Structure 1
């Protein structure tokens, strides 16, 4: 199969391999001959499309033709423009909402159950600076402590999560910094946390404690660098105490209903909406059907496909939350006098994605077909089991951090271009095509490209579920093996 027509309503097909001039290619009952060489992952016209008519992929418009397009022509940015408008009004049409019947899977993973009942999939010590001024101090403590931790049973390592904020911020920015850091301090993947402050910052430790709320004093410790003679030495002593506590923790069998999995994509290509994203959607449906939770974010990459999610809201209250989620983010663009549809990225376009609608229709497939049970604001922590939407931008690091802060123990990250990115929680890279999986084997954890080779969606989704269970039970992801563990916090306001 060299062409893929995703929906019978599509007037384009996707090139599975490069299409060359002079050759004929058949999909269904249609045979086409390319007018020019068409790169792998890009689109070819299956019929004549007059200027102004919609280009249809996934069964939905992804833009309109800016000129007359003949059958066999390459369809991309040179002859297609987005249909996206500005802020819209929406109506709730839940007629298509269906109850998915999935088999119950008696699966468990080996996790760490914390005192508050939450379950972690790692037993790590985290060093979290209240301010960027002590980033290097946090690094020095973590570097020394990580060597010590190798001899401590049941501990998965010591890691610092540095950032440039915590001072010279006002209003919402300051609040976002505090809340994200507080969410991480309370994350169940952390067996213990050292909160490291400088002493003179806006987000000094006593101020941060007001946001943090209740905490386990045996597992969360504080150090103000200005109050001690040698902050690295003092930090090491505190981490050694935390390591001794963490050594007593043991993995135990936990039902997969305790899993909270983040859904993310980055460096997408023309295969993202054919292989990896629908595969993750199938996984999400299996997880939700068995009582688990999945969280979908990247709000700007819902633009153009938002009504699909809205019609899957379990009730009108959730529908209203999705409307606000979408329109508030569009307002954010307008407030900054930026175009709402300044997407896809250059890498996306090179991989075959032409418009934001096309990217969004592929992106939202990661949420499967489950009903949407809740919508979280940025920095909110998950409250309900099932499929939840989270407010965060498309930026890979900011979105991945937001997913971790919301309570995800693991993130599934689909990519066709490739990235080594990792954040505070295990981040599994799922390749959209087998070429990138093989070429960047040091980055990739799972190959969704096998779907193009005839393997069934259900069988590959079962394999992905088993792989996620292995990761939740202690198997390191490639990004963890490489030491890629960063966070990024959403900034919107002024810096003093």
Structure 2
């Protein structure tokens, strides 16, 4: 007699009532039977966790729906209980247009957070930083080496050096080698770091924006870079700035200063500029820059944290190394935290335009003005057209890792990614480097590329970035503290050195989206207070890649 394995209702999920595929929440074996409402589905093959299977037989060309929207079309006839793959399903998304829809939003219960504050650094223009950094900016890549020399000197002598455990580990190997010990069999491991005592207690770090631009390329590249660097100098987490210029590059210091003044006419932070071609020597350039910066550090160290309303927070929400659970656990949980902050008067930035493909209509319908909707549609179409011209397109966004973990089409990935932005109205649409000035949810035009996107979010004013990941990624940012949120507990345990928050409880049913969202906002407040330091900050993951406005998915 044949034994039929019945699949528990806890082990699969229909995300939206209109969906015609189900998501496996754990590995499901071939021939197992899924009881879905009145339908009994026998699985035709093994369905790995995070992957999808069809509810019914579908003919070639039939529409596949997830999150209630079109995410693909089947390429040949498929049977119920079959695994969705790149072979049987290709990307498809609905056309979108402005419909003048009146959007009604029901904010979440914020009673837990009403009248709460965080301990921030108040700037003279009224904004609050969640950290207090000194920033070094090169006008051109030619100055990167000088920045490296200065970084080594300041970090090691002022208590900001990240780690010497790998130096000590290498020293152990060298000593073993010199003594004739087999380094493979010897039990060596990096020793714990020594705690560095910071000289300036109120300065959280000295950051360096090494980059590969400023000369060569096009003048547009230099202009875009200038706007980006001005945005970082003006960032509320930055207390002072040192600029190094070669002298002959496209991006002249005067252009940068003009962009900075245009961005913030009241800019009054300490700012020192040095030009190498006007210096007596490399040594004098570096020592002069260090001396001036040291004096500046003494001054900005006098700034202390003080109470600030939660409405002064600006969260950037980002996903990278996404998996089939991203749109089910971490992203909607971050989305709930986003809604909480918006309801409290704060700002939330949702970017990665290539990863909004398929979610456009919902976002358009949520725009509070026709102008914002039209700007969003223009930026999306222009970006996609540029990609198509070079033989690509938004449909080519999912990476091999995304696909292996169940994100078969870009629309599946995108509709899940968009859930990070919650459900609140879209109050503004920002082009690359434009500052967020309105309370609420804003869309920011950036690539999907992890570092280019986080670089752009910080430029628009994100003081903290919530970064969800299902596969794990070491991405961070120099000025916006980056919090890593795992979609599943397995990842959180395996890469505990880079993960801050585990939302795997949503998958197992131990926690609700609302409970997890509240925990995430609490964690953000702790980071904003300076009480908790995110793993990305501890590891020195200060990634910075300017976008040249070319095709980057």
Q: Deviations over 1:343-387 (max 9, x none)?
A: 211111011011111111101111111000000011111121100
After the TM superposition, which residues 35-50 of structure 1 pair with which residues of structure 2 at under 5 Å, given as runs?
35-50=44-59
Kindly tell me: are residues 27 and 112 of structure 1, through their superposed partners in 2, closer, same or farther at Cα, counting changes over 3 Å? farther
Report if the CA contact (8 A) 1:173-1:493 is conserved.
no
Tell me how far apart the structure 1 counterparts of residues 315 and 16 of structure 2 sit (CA, whole Å).
28
Are 1:460 and 2:511 matched, yes or no? Answer: no
1:212 is displaced (CA, Å) by: 1.9
1:268 is displaced (CA, Å) by: 0.9
2:537 alignment partner, one of 451, 455, 480: 480
Report if the CA contact (8 A) 2:485-2:500 is conserved.
yes
What is aligned with 2:307?
Answer: 253
Tell me how far apart the structure 2 counterparts of residues 473 and 172 of structure 1 sit (CA, whole Å).
39
What is aligned with 2:234?
Answer: 186
Kindly tell me: are residues 285 and 493 of structure 1, through their superposed partners in 2, closer, same or farther at Cα, counting changes over 3 Å? closer
Are 1:389 and 2:443 matched, yes or no? Answer: yes
Gaps of 5+ in 1: none
Structure 2 SS opposite 1:491: coil
Q: TM-score, normalised by structure 2?
A: 0.86
What is aligned with 1:91?
Answer: 98
2:485 alignment partner, one of 413, 427, 430: 430
TM-align CA RMSD:
1.8
Structure 1 SS opposite 2:288: helix
Tell me how far apart the structure 2 counterparts of residues 115 and 466 of structure 1 sit (CA, whole Å).
27
1:125 is displaced (CA, Å) by: 1.1
Structure 2 SS opposite 1:73: coil
Are 1:159 and 2:207 matched, yes or no? Answer: yes
What is aligned with 1:208?
Answer: 256
Structure 2 SS opposite 1:22: coil
After the TM superposition, which residues 139-288 of structure 1 pair with which residues of structure 2 at under 5 Å, given as runs?
139-147=148-156, 148-149=158-159, 150-213=198-261, 214=265, 216=267, 219-228=270-279, 229=281, 230=283, 231-288=285-342
Report if the CA contact (8 A) 2:72-2:91 is conserved.
yes
Report if the CA contact (8 A) 1:5-1:27 is conserved.
no
Tell me how far apart the structure 1 counterparts of residues 213 and 78 of structure 2 sit (CA, whole Å).
50
Tell me how far apart the structure 1 counterparts of residues 394 and 526 of structure 2 sit (CA, whole Å).
40
Tell me how far apart the structure 1 counterparts of residues 305 and 386 of structure 2 sit (CA, whole Å).
43
Q: Deviations over 1:119-175 (max 9, x none)?
A: 111111111111111112112212211231521121112121110001123232111
Tell me how far apart the structure 2 counterparts of residues 89 and 47 of structure 1 sit (CA, whole Å).
28
Q: Deviations over 1:436-475 (max 9, x none)?
A: 1111001111111111122112111111110000111112
1:232 is displaced (CA, Å) by: 2.1
Are 1:53 and 2:53 matched, yes or no? Answer: no
Tell me how far apart the structure 2 counterparts of residues 77 and 472 of structure 1 sit (CA, whole Å).
42
Structure 1 SS opposite 2:272: strand
Higher alpha-carbon deviation: 52-61 or 412-421:
52-61
After the TM superposition, which residues 401-420 of structure 1 pair with which residues of structure 2 at under 5 Å, given as runs?
401-420=455-474
Kindly tell me: are residues 89 and 127 of structure 1, through their superposed partners in 2, closer, same or farther at Cα, counting changes over 3 Å? same
Instruction: Look at both structures and tell me which one has the larger radius of gyration over its CA atoms.
Output: 2
1:493 is displaced (CA, Å) by: 6.5
After the TM superposition, which residues 249-398 of structure 1 pair with which residues of structure 2 at under 5 Å, given as runs?
249-398=303-452
2:110 alignment partner, one of 93, 98, 103: 103
Gaps of 5+ in 2: 1-9, 160-197
Aligned residues: 492
Structure 2 SS opposite 1:311: helix
